[in-house]
Structure 1
Amino acid sequence: MTSSLGLWLLACLAAPAVPTMDWLLPAGARRGSTVELTAGGKFDQWPVRVWCSNPGVTLKPLVVKGKFEVKVGPEAVPGPCLIRCIDDTGAGNSRPFILGNLPESLAREPDDQPASALPVGLPAVINGRLEKSGDVDCFAVELKAGQTFVASVLANRLLGSPMDMVLQLVSADGFVLTQNNDRGGIDPTLIHKVVRTGTFYVRLFAFSYPPDSSVRFSGGENHVYRLTVTCGAFARHAWPLALGPAGVGPKAGGLSARGYNLADTAATGRLVASNPSGLGLVGADSWANTVPVYLADRQPVVGASVGQPFEAPLWLSAEAGARGVAPTSVTVTLKGGLQYRLEAWSYSLGLSMFPSVRVIDPAGKVLQTKEPDDLDQDVDIIFKVLTDGNHKLEVIDPHGLTGDLRVCLVRLGRVMPAFIAKLGAEAVSGEPGKAATLPVTITRVGGLAGNAVFRLEGMPAGVPWVAEPDKKDPAKPVMLQIGPSREPKAFSGPVRIFAKVADLPEKLAWTGSVYPGLQVETVWMQLPAAQAPGKPMEKPPIPDPAKKK
């Protein structure tokens, strides 16, 4: 009895937690639209304020806890963005929200069988959820002979939904015409050339991911997804997979992509977003989606070349050939005695080539060879060049598999002094009279040495801070001790952390995903005001994120 009473008292006295969001439904919206959003999670205080990384998006809490009105401007940048909630205790975690070009709708139950399937006009994005274990969702589409139909699911990769989905196209008489489990990652995409006009059913279900011992279909309130269905333009990847310093590919007039139903819109793409990691997004108003692209420091090379040798750094977009076909091969001039870094990306770009790369020295000897350690990994290796001269770089898929996603991007360049600054948290809350701690990890390469120097942008002048590096191990996180504040008012707001090492340009510290739009580039600081003895603590004024500069 006493123990139960004590636990009850502790629960009553517990401080409110920061707002957390576990899922969003819908998980995105069309540019130029207004939608009602439901957020699953924990909100001890209501209403909350909402911050979005896309300045074209504003959110307003509604009367019902967890409900928001979302307004997306017509000029908002397409692709992923981040949303997080703020209250008197601080800022919670961020969640992805996807902005697109197509009409959008919400799935509704029941829709487990073709007889109860929701009719969907094309093109469209359906925001849905597999609500419980064993759940199946079906949607009816009208297709015409000769069309190329695309159905693509976004769930695990960008939304973080804990499921491995299966996507099927079913005929009116119940036959599965085509099925896809994984296409360029966990999330499925199916392509179907329509041979007969009529009604067809898109059916989807999922298994748990990471996998467990259950063989039942997976479901739950956090099993949200976005299903794109179209017979219009749908991009699968940029081509080439890297953009040169001028921001355009080798073909003037626009950025190009490969995919389905692109026709004369294939070269109309533009760079719509980028991030500190050197990744960008290519999109067009006529496309159903955006695709990632690397931002190169030199004009990229496409395919094999028999011309003059290239200088490093080399950016090469390569395609897999059938078994027995010669590998993609280029010649690059390297200098003996120096270290070089060889990278090959496919899986992280949503592609499915298994790139095996090798470097052959001027004497014809294999200097280095490397392929991914697993199917869901890329190549990244550092090696030393022994002699000056022209080296051959070869790229091949040893499985001999070809297809629209069997492409990769390879970079070969010198290992130069460089660093990356990673935030240890996306929000920090201080206590009265105490310093708040924010860890920042500085990863150095290329022989770079020296302590990092930091700059905090957006912090009030009356908030002192100091950087405390680990004296024994510079690879360990630097602890930024922030506060206690000397400001008469409490502070609640976003702060950007910049780091500089040696004479290299300063870099913005970030955390989260490297995917464009999903990097967290600000830390939300919640710092109490300096208090006179005996004076009650003041709550910080929370800035309205809707009032953007």
Structure 2
Amino acid sequence: QPYVYRLTITDGPWVEQTYPLGIQRGTKTEVQLLGQQLPVKPVTVDVPADAIGTIGHSLSVPMGETNVFALAVSDHPNVLEADGNNTPATAQAVTLPVVLNGRIESVGDTDHFVFQAKKDESLVMDLQAARLGSLLDARVSVLDAAGKRIGGGDESKGSSDPKFTFKAPGDGKFTVVISEQEPGRGGQRFAYRLEIAPSAKAKPGFQLKLPGDAISVARNGEAKIKINVERTGGFNEEIALAVENLPAGVTVSGGDKIPKAKNVVEMKLKATKDATVTVKSVRITGKAKAGDVEITSRAILAAATIHDTVRNTMKVAVAVPVPFKFTGVF
């Protein structure tokens, strides 16, 4: 069962990568599409304000509808690298927090960005490249005003993408440098996305987790699903759940809330004997209060591979019970 594959062969529009690899949440941004049968000029992508993590997106282009491709989203302003930022002396000035978007466009290329930090300020530096399908095997270095390397990384747990915390040794300007680790590598597909932001204590909240991407329920039958929750920042309160867009004839019982201090609840989907045989994208949303603040979270399914995206719906299919027989004139 784990050795299942899906092979798509097409001469239509197909997006293999974008530049930049992502954009700021709730904004419209011009993006260059890399692949086949795609516009040469950048296209405008509109990302909703409630987008989560890495989203799946498709576009209508003159040659047809593209495949669903991955786009990273973040809260912080996005900056594209400027030409000529190849040395510490010509480093591009940026203001934190920020997401730096660039490419190692040729062999030996390096990108430099300079920022201000205060003594003992802790900054989380998280570079995304391989996780978003880029060919870049990145190294990140932090230099002081004299050009000495005082921090950096070249990988993180479970990924070749660097992620580390930099603590400023004093007030001043610091330069972050992005480069390719392996010799003889560079090009259009060597893009990166480096987020730099102060370390932050997690706010009270929660994230609902879907059990999978799809489930089927037979007519006059039932199916059970479990919704898990990840609590953050000491949040421990009850969470009210709502299920939207169920197929006609399907109802849900139980699991209308996750009790205080609990992390999982079971829902039961039940279909009537004449429920419409169809598939619907179902949303599960949780609401709760942390003090006077109302918190809302849409249940998600995390991306399984670098080619996958975060999903915030689950397909619910109504099926005909087996064994069955169709009769008619064909």
**Percent identity over the alignment?**
12
- Tell me if the contact between 1:255 and 1:282 (Cα under 8 Å) persists in the aligned partners: no
1:313 corresponds to: 97
Pick from 498, 521, 528: which aligns with 2:286? Answer: 498
2:176 corresponds to: 393
> Which protein, 1 or 2, shows the higher relative CO under an 8 Å CA cutoff with sep ≥ 6?
2
Pick from 444, 457, 479: which aligns with 2:242? Answer: 457
Q: CA deviation at 1:396?
A: 0.2
Superposition map of 1:218-367 within 5 A: 222-229=4-11, 234-245=14-25, 247-249=27-29, 254-259=30-35, 262=38, 265-271=40-46, 275-281=51-57, 283-286=59-62, 289-304=67-82, 305=85, 306=90, 309-320=93-104, 322-325=106-109, 327-362=110-145, 364-367=147-150
- Tell me if the contact between 1:284 and 1:290 (Cα under 8 Å) persists in the aligned partners: no
Q: Which amino acid aligns with 1:239?
A: Y
Change (3 A) 1:338 1:505: farther
Change (3 A) 1:462 1:225: closer
Superposition map of 1:170-209 within 5 A: none
- Tell me if the contact between 1:245 and 1:296 (Cα under 8 Å) persists in the aligned partners: yes
Q: CA deviation at 1:312?
A: 1.7
2:162 corresponds to: 379
Unaligned runs of 5+ in 2: 218-223, 245-250, 319-330
Superposition map of 1:508-547 within 5 A: 508-513=298-303, 519-522=311-314
Change (3 A) 1:411 1:500: farther
1:507 corresponds to: 297
Change (3 A) 1:330 1:525: same
- Tell me if the contact between 2:33 and 2:42 (Cα under 8 Å) persists in the aligned partners: yes
2:326 corresponds to: none
Secondary structure of the 1:348 match is helix
Q: Distance in 1 between matches of 2:165 and 2:308?
A: 26
Q: Distance in 2 between matches of 1:270 and 1:376?
A: 28
Change (3 A) 1:505 1:439: closer
Q: Distance in 2 between matches of 1:495 and 1:289?
A: 22
Q: CA deviation at 1:308?
A: 6.9
1:369 corresponds to: 152
- Tell me if the contact between 2:226 and 2:264 (Cα under 8 Å) persists in the aligned partners: yes
Q: CA deviation at 1:239?
A: 1.8
Q: Distance in 2 between matches of 1:359 and 1:410?
A: 13
Secondary structure of the 1:228 match is coil
**C-alpha distance after superposition, 1:84-122 (max 9, x if no partner):** xxxxxxxxxxxxxxxxxxxxxxxxxxxxxxxxxxxxxxx
Q: Distance in 2 between matches of 1:512 and 1:386?
A: 36
Q: Which amino acid aligns with 1:279?
A: I
Change (3 A) 1:272 1:382: closer
Secondary structure of the 2:265 match is strand
Q: Which amino acid aligns with 2:153?
A: K
Secondary structure of the 2:10 match is strand
Rg bigger for which structure? 1
Secondary structure of the 1:256 match is strand
2:228 corresponds to: 440
Change (3 A) 1:269 1:510: same
**C-alpha distance after superposition, 1:432-456 (max 9, x if no partner):** xxxx783524163xxx223254221
Secondary structure of the 2:131 match is helix
2:322 corresponds to: none
Q: Distance in 2 between matches of 1:437 and 1:277?
A: 24
Pick from 455, 461, 480: which aligns with 2:265? Answer: 480
- Tell me if the contact between 2:122 and 2:199 (Cα under 8 Å) persists in the aligned partners: yes
Change (3 A) 1:466 1:420: closer
TM-score by length of 2: 0.66
Superposition map of 1:66-145 within 5 A: none
- Tell me if the contact between 1:281 and 1:516 (Cα under 8 Å) persists in the aligned partners: no
**C-alpha distance after superposition, 1:464-513 (max 9, x if no partner):** 7553566xxxxxx7123669x9xxx99x9956132557447422121242
1:404 matches 2:188: yes
Secondary structure of the 2:61 match is coil
Compare 272-281 and 414-423 and name the one that shifted more: 272-281
Q: CA deviation at 1:355?
A: 1.0
1:414 matches 2:205: no
Unaligned runs of 5+ in 1: 1-21, 23-159, 163-221, 430-435, 471-476, 527-549
Q: Which amino acid aligns with 2:230?
A: I
Q: Which amino acid aligns with 1:450?
A: F
- Tell me if the contact between 1:420 and 1:509 (Cα under 8 Å) persists in the aligned partners: no
- Tell me if the contact between 2:70 and 2:309 (Cα under 8 Å) persists in the aligned partners: no
CA RMSD of aligned residues (A): 4.4
Secondary structure of the 1:317 match is strand
**C-alpha distance after superposition, 1:270-316 (max 9, x if no partner):** 34899422535253423554532222434422225547732222111
Q: Distance in 1 between matches of 2:310 and 2:210?
A: 16
Q: Distance in 1 between matches of 2:174 and 2:157?
A: 27
Query: What is the total number of aligned residue pairs between the two structures?
Result: 282
TM-score by length of 1: 0.42
